[in-house]
Each structure stands twice: as C-alpha cells, then as structure tokens.
Amino acid sequence: MGAGHDHGQQAARAGVKHRGRLWAAFGLLLTFMVVEAVAAVVTGSLALLSDAGHMFTDVLGIGMALAAITAASRASRSGQRTFGLYRMEVLAALANAVLLFAVACYVVVEAVRRFSQPPEVLAGPMLAVAVAGLAANVVAFFLLRAGSQESLNVRGAYLEVLGDLFTSVGVIVAAVVIAVTDWWYADPLIAVAVGLFILPRAYQLGRAALRVLVQAAPAHLDISAVRAALLAVDGVADVHDLHVWTLTSGMDVASAHLALERDADLAAVLARSRRLLQDRFAIAHATLQAEPAESADADAVCHGSGW
C-alpha cells in the first residue's frame, strides 16, 4: 500500500509544483480576455469575440485546474475519501471540454448567420488587440508546456492555450485582409475556422477525461499482456478478476486475484508481482489477493456478484 500512497502523493504534487506557472498564466490571460472582449464590442469583430470566448475558457479552465490542484493537495486520505480528491482534476478537465464545445458551437452558428450580411469591422484596433492577444498566448503556452506532460488538468489548460494561439493568428489574418481589401467576409470566415479548430480538441480532452471517469483500462496498456506477465511470475498458477484503471493523471492502479501453486511462497509471489507491475507497466498501486489454486469456491467468491 505504501508504494501506491507515495505515487498518489507524487501525482498530486505534479500539479502543485506547476501552480505558480498556472497563476501567472491565469492572470495574464484574464487581463487579455477582458481587453479582447471590449475590443470585440468596439470593433464589431466576431473573430475577435470568438478569440475572447476561447480565452475565457482558458481562464476558466486554468482556474478550475488551480482549484482542483489545491483540493487534491489538501485532501486527507482518512475517513470516507480513501483515495483523496485526485479525481477533482479529471472532473475539471471534463468541464473544460464541455465549455470548449459550447463556445465553438456558438461561434460557428453566429458566423454562419453573419455570412448573409457581414457587418463592417474596425480592422486597425482589431489587429492591434489580436497581436497583443497572440503575445499573451505565447507566454502562457511556455508557462504551461512542462506541466502538460504530468497532469491531465494542466494538459487541458495547455491545449486550450495552444488552440487559442492559433485562433489569435487567424484573427490577425482576418484583420489584415479586411484592412487591405475591405472584404468583410474574412471576419465570419475566420470565426468559423476557429470554431472548427476548437471542436476536435474539445472532443479529445472530453474523451480522455471520460475514459478515466468510467474506469476504462488505460489506452497505452494491453490488459492481456498484463495478465500474461502475471501468469509468468514464479509461483502463480492462474490470474483472474484483473482490473486496471486510471485514478488521475499519471496514476494507474490495478487489482487482481492470484491463484498460487501448491508450494509457492506467498510473500515472495506478492513482492515479485508488485515489482513486475511497477517496473514493466508503471502501475505503482496494486491490490493483489492470493489464494490456493485448488480452492474449490474461489471462482464462486470472485464472480458470485455477477460483474
């Protein structure tokens, strides 16, 4: 149990150690979100408004990431929360995905509506604000890049900022086109492109979060390979009731019943099995139940519940 506990604390610290960078990105993006929203109203640009909306989800997403990291780092492993609050970051990532999807749908619908009669846009102010927004996103991108490899929640914020970086480039292109050619269709056209750019990223983030929440086996693990590896452990006669799932970012856990050979050393088999799961599959938290291979009612005990 000690290894799993230590790994769980490590997963929580993965977010905590990047908290300072998250706060910096949060403050920076919040400031420019307000600037872009005001500028969108003043200039009449839907593309700029879509970028502000996307930046709003960045700000909200980073805010939820900070809240989740704080909750997870303070959670007690006693009482009813036996796994702490590690799932908080996954719930925040799922909420992020839903918000991204909603913003993208709104932008696309509004842009299509504007194609019938695109309004005039003040290209000069639109361009200036878009360039400033791009600079803010570049800074936030580098602030979050390291943490995105260690935390699903930070990864969600990082992907949003990455997407917003590209949308800022799109708004700049639209502003330049309008300034040079007075072709007002550039604004809703870029807005549609922004919306379509956001949608698959929202889907991918939501899918990753849901996969954790429904306790599906990690995508990178082959369960049959895990079972075969445990079967190959000296002293193991059979493996059943094997379950592997993800608790939170970077924390895969497993449980299994090991039927032991007649003369097997219980302590040695458990130690070898746990070491195997840790070294080969990076599963640091494993709950293993050992039982005699010849136990007549072992299967009934394991499967009597029907699931």
- The mean-pLDDT minimum among 123-132, 185-194, 197-206, 251-260 falls in 197-206
The tokens of 96 are what? 């992020």
**Band of residue 216 on the pLDDT scale cut at 50, 70, 90:** very high
CB 8 within 8 A of CB 83: yes
Residue 16 pLDDT > 60: no
* Sequence-distant (≥ 6) Cβ neighbours of residue 111 within 8 angstroms: 46, 50, 188, 189, 191, 192, 195
Residue 1 pLDDT > 50: no
Among residues 200, 220, 27, the alpha carbon closest in space to that of 97 is found at: 200
Higher pLDDT, 206 or 75: 206
Residue 5 pLDDT > 60: no
Please state the domain extents for the chain.
2-213, 223-303
Residue 4 pLDDT > 50: no
- The mean-pLDDT minimum among 67-76, 172-181, 190-199, 232-241 falls in 67-76
- Average pLDDT on 41-55 reads 85
- Average pLDDT on 140-146 reads 83
Higher pLDDT, 302 or 64: 64
For residue 59, what are the CA distances in angstroms to 27, 47, 81, 281?
A: 8, 18, 29, 35
Residue 24 pLDDT > 80: yes
Distance from C-alpha of 59 to C-alpha of 16, rounded to nearest angstrom: 18
Residue 14 pLDDT > 60: no
Question: Beta strands 251-260 and 285-292: pairing type?
Answer: parallel
* Cα–Cα–Cα angle for 177, 103, 25, rounded to 5 degrees: 85
* Sequence-distant (≥ 6) Cβ neighbours of residue 178 within 8 angstroms: 121, 123, 126, 184, 186, 187
Topology at the third CATH level for domain 2-213: Alpha-lytic protease prodomain-like (1.20.1510)
Question: Beta strands 236-248 and 251-260: pairing type?
Answer: antiparallel
Give the CATH number of domain 223-303; options: 3.30.70.1350, 3.90.25.10, 2.70.70.10, 3.30.70.890. 3.30.70.1350
- Average pLDDT on 130-149 reads 85
| Model confidence pLDDT, tens digit, residues 88-130 | 778 877 887 888 788 888 888 888 888 888 888 889 999 999 9
Residue 11 pLDDT > 50: no
**Band of residue 8 on the pLDDT scale cut at 50, 70, 90:** very low
What 3-state DSSP class applies to 53? helix
Give residue for tokens 């996969």.
211
Determine the pLDDT at residue 6: 47
Please, where are the H alpha helices in the chain? 2-16, 19-43, 46-74, 88-114, 123-144, 152-181, 186-213, 223-231, 266-281, 298-303
Higher pLDDT, 85 or 267: 267
- Average pLDDT on 282-306 reads 69
Task: Find the distance separating the first CA and the last CA of the chain, reported in whole Å.
Answer: 25
Residue 211 pLDDT > 80: yes
Higher pLDDT, 27 or 250: 27
Question: Mind giving me the DSSP string for 151-210?
Answer: -HHHHHHHHHHHHHHHHHHHHHHHHHHHHHH--TTHHHHHHHHHHHHHHHHHHHHHHHHH
- The mean-pLDDT minimum among 2-6, 61-65, 206-210, 249-253 falls in 2-6
Residue 35 pLDDT > 80: yes
For residue 137, what are the CA distances in angstroms to 6, 13, 118?
A: 35, 25, 28
Q: What DSSP character marks residue 77?
A: S
Distance from C-alpha of 124 to C-alpha of 131, rounded to nearest angstrom: 11
Q: What DSSP character marks residue 149?
A: G
The tokens of 128 are what? 């200036």
CB 290 within 8 A of CB 258: yes
Residue 200 pLDDT > 90: no
